[in-house]
Amino acid sequence: MVLVFSDNKNLTFEMLSKASELAKNLNKKVTAVIIGKTDDALAKEYISFGADKVFVAETNLESFKAEEYTDILGNIVKETGAETILIGSNKNGKELAARLGGKLNAGCVIDSNNIYLKDKKLTAERVVYSGNAIAVEQFNSTPAIVTVPSKAFDRLKKDDSRKGDIIKKKIDAEKSTSKILKVQEMKTEGVNVEDAEIIVSCGRGFKNKEDIKLVQELADVLKGKTVGCSRPIAADMKWLPEECWIGLSGHKVKPKLYIAAGISGQIQHIAGMRDSGIIVAINKDPDALIFKSADYGIVGDLYEVLPKLTSAVKEKMG
Ligand SMILES: Cc1cc2nc3c(=O)[nH]c(=O)nc-3n(C[C@H](O)[C@H](O)[C@H](O)COP(=O)(O)OP(=O)(O)OC[C@H]3O[C@@H](n4cnc5c(N)ncnc54)[C@H](O)[C@@H]3O)c2cc1C
C-alpha cells in the first residue's frame, strides 16, 4: 500500500497523483490519511484526486505536535501494512517524517522531486549541493518514507465519480512530555507565491526598497498581484517578507508566467522557479545566467524596462 499524509490538502492532492502512479506499478492501493477531526468533504476530495481509501484517525489533538503525530501515523502504518509512505515536505512534514523513520527503523528521503521504480526498487531523487547535483537514492527495506515538496507533481484531474472507502477510527496518541503553550498564526499580507499564476520577482538589481513598487505595479496590471524575490531581498535586505522568497531554500513556484527583474539566475534561485510556464528575464548584463533559463529575455536597465512594460501591458489590457 502507498500511504499519503500532509496537513496541507493541496500538497496531498499533488502527492496522490504520484502515489497513484506508484501504486499502479506496484499493483497496490493508495490510502490518504487525515489526522484530527473527521472531514467527510475532504475525504471525498482525496478520493476524487486518486485515493482508494481514506483513513481518518479521530483524535482529540488541538494542533500539530510531531511526537503525537508520529505515534499516530506509526500505528496507522503498522495497522495498514503500508510499504511506501509519502509525506508533504513542509516544516511539520519534515519533522514528522524523520521521527517516523526513527520510530519504524525505516529509510527516509527528504524533499524528493522525482520518485519511481528502478529494478523493482523504490527510487527517489533529490537536489543536493545547492542545486548543483541530483542524488538518486534507493530503498533496500520497507517501509520507505519520502517527503515531497509542493509543486513537485501535478495533481490528477478531479474525478468525482471515483469510489473509495472512508475508514474512521478513534486513535489516542501517547501523551508527549512537551507542551504547546501558544499557537500564533503568521501574519501574511495575502501573499501566496506557491498558488500564484503570475509572479513578478525582484533581485539585487534593485537599488532601494522603495523601487520594489516597480514590480508591484507590473504585477498589479497583470492582475497577478503577486510579487516574489530572490534570497538577498528577503533574507539580507529584508525588503520583502520571507513568503516572497523563491528558490532552493525559499518557496518552489510554478506560475504560468514568471518575470524575473534584476535577478542573476544562480542555480539556487532557478531551483525554485524552473517549472514556471513562461519565464521572462530582465537584466542589464547580456551574459547573465538567468537568460539560459528564460523563454524571453530583455537586456536592459530594469529602471527603464519595467515602467515601459507596465504601461504597455496597461494599454493592451485596456
Ligand atoms: C545553500 C544556499 C541556498 C540558497 N537559496 C537561495 C534561494 O532559495 N533563493 C535565491 O534566490 N537564492 C538562494 N541562494 C543565493 C543564491 O546563490 C544567489 O546568491 C542569489 O540568488 C542572488 O540573488 P540575486 O540574483 O538577486 O542577486 P545577484 O546575484 O547580485 O544579481 C543581481 C543581478 O541584477 C542585475 N542588475 C543589476 N542592476 C540592474 C539593473 N539596473 N537593471 C537590470 N539588471 C540589473 C545584475 O546584472 C545581476 O545579474 C542560496 C545560496 C545558498 C548557498
pLDDT tier, 85 (very low <50, low <70, confident <90, very high otherwise): very high
- Say if residue 165 is in the same domain as residue 197: no
**The pLDDT of residue 22:** 97
**The pLDDT of residue 180:** 83
Determine if ligand 1 sits within 6 Å of the CB of residue 74: no
Domain-embedded: residue 304: yes
- Say if residue 311 is in the same domain as residue 218: yes
> In whole angstroms, how far apart are CA 273 and each of 12, 120, 236, 299?
21, 32, 20, 20
Q: Examine the pLDDT at 300 and tell me if it is beyond 70.
A: yes
Q: Write down the residue that cell numbers 530583455 correspond to.
A: 298
Q: Examine the pLDDT at 192 and tell me if it is beyond 90.
A: no
- Say if residue 160 is in the same domain as residue 263: no
What average pLDDT does the segment 125-154 reach?
91
- Say if residue 142 is in the same domain as residue 200: no
Q: What is the CATH number of the domain that holds 157?
A: 3.40.50.620
Please check whether residue 25 is in contact with residue 122, taking contact to mean a CB–CB distance below 8 angstroms: no
- Say if residue 141 is in the same domain as residue 24: yes
Domain-embedded: residue 183: no
Please check whether residue 281 is in contact with residue 263, taking contact to mean a CB–CB distance below 8 angstroms: yes
Determine if ligand 1 sits within 6 Å of the CB of residue 162: no
Pocket test for ligand 1, best of 130, 151, 244, 269 (most atoms within 8 A of CB): 269
Q: Examine the pLDDT at 191 and tell me if it is beyond 70.
A: no
Cα 280 to middle of ligand 1, angstroms: 16
Cα 240 to middle of ligand 1, angstroms: 15
Q: Examine the pLDDT at 114 and tell me if it is beyond 70.
A: yes
End-to-end CA gap in the chain: 53
Domain-embedded: residue 239: yes
Determine if ligand 1 sits within 6 Å of the CB of residue 264: yes
What average pLDDT does the segment 309-317 reach?
93
Pocket test for ligand 1, best of 264, 290, 305 (most atoms within 8 A of CB): 264
Pocket test for ligand 1, best of 194, 238, 248, 267 (most atoms within 8 A of CB): 248
Domain-embedded: residue 176: no
Q: Examine the pLDDT at 295 and tell me if it is beyond 90.
A: yes
- Say if residue 17 is in the same domain as residue 150: yes
What is the C-alpha to C-alpha distance for residues 246 and 262, in angstroms, rounded to an integer? 14
Q: Please say which residue of 139, 170, 201 terminates a domain.
A: 170
What is the C-alpha to C-alpha distance for residues 93 and 85, in angstroms, rounded to an integer? 12
Cα 258 to middle of ligand 1, angstroms: 15
What average pLDDT does the segment 167-173 reach?
89
- Say if residue 229 is in the same domain as residue 129: no
State the average pLDDT for the chain: 93
Cα 290 to middle of ligand 1, angstroms: 10
**The pLDDT of residue 289:** 97
Cα 272 to middle of ligand 1, angstroms: 13
**The pLDDT of residue 287:** 98
Its sign, for the CA torsion 175, 40, 88, 196, is negative
Tally of structural domains, the chain: 2
Q: Examine the pLDDT at 61 and tell me if it is beyond 90.
A: no
pLDDT tier, 129 (very low <50, low <70, confident <90, very high otherwise): confident
Flag the least confident range among 127-136, 186-195, 199-208.
Answer: 186-195
Q: Indicate which residue's Cα is closest to atom 2 of ligand 1.
A: 130
Please check whether residue 259 is in contact with residue 269, taking contact to mean a CB–CB distance below 8 angstroms: no
What average pLDDT does the segment 189-211 reach?
91
pLDDT tier, 317 (very low <50, low <70, confident <90, very high otherwise): confident
Domain-embedded: residue 187: no
- Say if residue 160 is in the same domain as residue 203: no
**The pLDDT of residue 130:** 72
Flag the least confident range among 9-18, 77-86, 122-131, 184-193.
Answer: 184-193
Cα 282 to middle of ligand 1, angstroms: 13
Determine if ligand 1 sits within 6 Å of the CB of residue 285: yes
**The pLDDT of residue 189:** 64
**The pLDDT of residue 188:** 64
Q: Can you give the residue range of the structural domain that contains 212? A: 193-317
Domain-embedded: residue 175: no
Q: Which three cell numbers stand for residue 32?
A: 490518504
What average pLDDT does the segment 266-294 reach?
96
- Say if residue 135 is in the same domain as residue 203: no
**The pLDDT of residue 181:** 86
Determine if ligand 1 sits within 6 Å of the CB of residue 201: no
Q: What is the CATH number of the domain that holds 256?
A: 3.40.50.1220
Nearest ligand 1 atom to alpha carbon 229: 11
pLDDT tens, 235-278? Answer: 999 999 999 999 988 998 999 999 999 999 999 999 899 989 99
Based on its alpha-carbon atoms, the radius of gyration of the chain, rounded to whole angstroms, reads 22
pTM, two decimals, is 0.81
Q: Please say which residue of 104, 138, 170 terminates a domain.
A: 170
Q: Indicate which residue's Cα is closest to atom 8 of ligand 1.
A: 247
Task: Indicate the helix (H) or strand (E) that contains 229.
Answer: strand 226-229
- Say if residue 264 is in the same domain as residue 310: yes
- Say if residue 163 is in the same domain as residue 16: yes
